[in-house]
């Protein structure tokens, strides 16, 4: 999309709309999960903590905030994403893409331990929101090109989340089943993996490779678009009449 007044306004509205849809999906599922726990006499506080222990929920909640900030920035004429915001945006983009891929490849037909799933919320969080971030990566104006070293920053949050999950899991009672452990996803649960922690390690390595690969692709797309903007801007200055993207 061209970096014109109309173009940035349109994409800003799209970001606001996507953020609103994600917020509605998170709230809808949280209300259902809390209601389910209240009805069955399960602990509400742990229900909320478990809910926000899902990578899907954390990545979507973060993406919602980032989309709102990005939408506001697009409404400020002539501004370019700061290095910090661009890094956060490419990181969240990577997390949302991995959320969509992992869910649709590994989890779509597996019930998750978060109470009764809200179908429309589930689709927004796992399908439509990741697809929007793919479109944002490809077409949103003013996305800043970043150095390849940014991939190290992208890896920080998934590593912290994985450590948190594996450390908390063995010490968290699953009030839904009575098990003395709780993990948000079956591929991280050594009690259901045929090879125990070995299976968890294999899945973790595979997903880590996927995150690094997607992060590299996201950075590469940003750098390619940055070069195209530079070429277009140079051509415009030389009198070719090409407007920057």
Tell me the pLDDT tens digit for each residue of 124-179.
Answer: 999 999 999 999 999 998 888 999 999 999 999 999 999 999 999 999 999 988 99
- Would you state the structure tokens that stand for residue 213, as one six-digit string? 């690969």
Within-domain flag for 45: yes
CA distance 235 to 212: 34
Mean pLDDT of 24-53: 95
Region 115-126 average pLDDT = 89
Q: Does the pLDDT at position 36 exceed 70?
A: yes
Distances (CA, A) of 208 to 92, 102, 106: 15, 11, 15
Confidence of residue 4 (pLDDT cuts 50, 70, 90): low
Q: How far apart are CA 245 and CA 230, in angstroms?
A: 9
Residue 192 lies in a domain: yes
What is the spatial distance between Cα 129 and Cα 2, in angstroms, rounded to a whole number?
A: 23
Say how far apart CA 33 and CA 28 lie, in whole Å.
Answer: 9
Q: Is residue 99 part of a domain?
A: yes
The predicted pLDDT at position 236 comes to: 53
pLDDT confidence of residue 105: 86
More confident residue, 116 or 9: 9
Mean of pLDDT values over 220-235: 80
- Tell me what pLDDT residue 242 has: 37
Q: Is residue 61 a part of any domain in this protein?
A: yes
Residue 228 in this model has a pLDDT that exceeds 50: yes
Give a yes or no: residue 243 inside a domain: no
Q: What percent of the chain has pLDDT over 70?
A: 90
Residue 242 lies in a domain: no
Check whether 216 has a pLDDT greater than 80. Answer: yes
Average pLDDT over residues 104-123: 79
With respect to residue 44, please indicate whether it lies within any of the assigned structural domains. Answer: yes
pTM over 0.75: yes
Q: Domain limits at 175?
A: 5-237
Provide CB contacts within 8 A for 199, sequence distance 6+. Answer: 187, 190, 193
In a domain, 12, yes or no: yes
Return d(Cα 8, Cα 142) in angstroms, integer.
9
Model confidence band, residue 237 (pLDDT cutoffs 50, 70, 90): very low
In the chain, how many domains are there? 1
């Amino acid at each position: 999309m061209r970096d014109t007044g109309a173009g940035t306004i349109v994409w800003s509205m799209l970001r606001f709309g996507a953020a609103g849809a994600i917020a509605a999906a998170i709230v809808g599922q949280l209300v259902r999960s809390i209601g389910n726990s209240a009805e069955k006499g399960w602990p509400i506080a742990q229900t909320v903590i478990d809910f926000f222990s899902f990578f899907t929920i954390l990545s979507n909640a973060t993406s919602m905030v980032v989309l709102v900030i990005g939408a506001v920035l697009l409404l400020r004429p002539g501004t370019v994403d700061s290095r910090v915001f661009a890094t956060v945006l490419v990181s969240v983009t990577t997390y949302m893409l991995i959320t969509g891929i992992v869910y649709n490849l590994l989890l779509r037909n597996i019930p998750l331990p978060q109470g009764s799933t809200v179908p429309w919320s589930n689709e927004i969080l796992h399908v439509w929101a990741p697809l929007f971030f793919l479109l944002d990566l490809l077409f949103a104006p003013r996305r800043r090109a970043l150095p390849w070293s940014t991939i190290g920053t992208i890896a920080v949050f998934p590593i912290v989340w994985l450590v948190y999950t594996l450390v908390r899991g063995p010490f968290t009672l699953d009030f839904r089943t009575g098990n003395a452990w709780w993990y948000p996803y079956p591929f991280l649960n050594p009690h259901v993996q045929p090879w125990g922690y070995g299976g968890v390690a294999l899945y973790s390595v595979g997903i880590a490779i996927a995150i690094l690969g997607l992060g590299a692709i996201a950075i590469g797309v940003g750098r390619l678009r940055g070069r195209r903007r530079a070429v277009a801007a140079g051509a415009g200055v030389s009198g070719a009449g090409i407007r920057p993207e």
